[in-house]
Amino acid sequence: MFRTLRAFINIVLAIVELLLTFRLIFEFLVVNPGTPFVAWLYGVTAPLVAPFSKILPNWKFSGFVVDFATVAAIIVFALAGSLLLMFIPHPRKVVVAGEVTPHD
């Protein structure tokens, strides 16, 4: 059971991190937000970045944009996922004392 739970949490965190990374790259390159995929991506990741966007400003230079709110969201979700996984025990193989294992 713990193995499945850990795998599920890892998959969800990987998807969230991947979407946030794409958002960071697209915002850095100033991709057209009217494109269907980019609009969908911004819509899906907006609630994940919203708590940080009011605190951290965007940094613009030479036509590029660094969105520190997205960077903060990536870091916070990675740390939160790691902390969550620390509380779920690793599945262990139990060896019974005196158990004989076959040797070929």
pLDDT of residue 95: 67
Backbone torsions φ then ψ of 60, nearest 5 degrees: -110, 135
Percentage of the chain beyond pLDDT 90 is 54
Domain definitions of the chain by residue range: 2-86
The arithmetic mean of pLDDT across residues 7-13, rounded, is 93
Is it the case that residue 102 has pLDDT exceeding 80? Answer: no
Task: pLDDT band for 63, please (50, 70, 90 cuts).
Answer: confident
The arithmetic mean of pLDDT across residues 30-52, rounded, is 93
Cα–Cα distances (Å) from 48 to 19, 44, 63, 92, in that order, read: 10, 8, 25, 34
For residue 87, give the 3-state DSSP assignment. coil
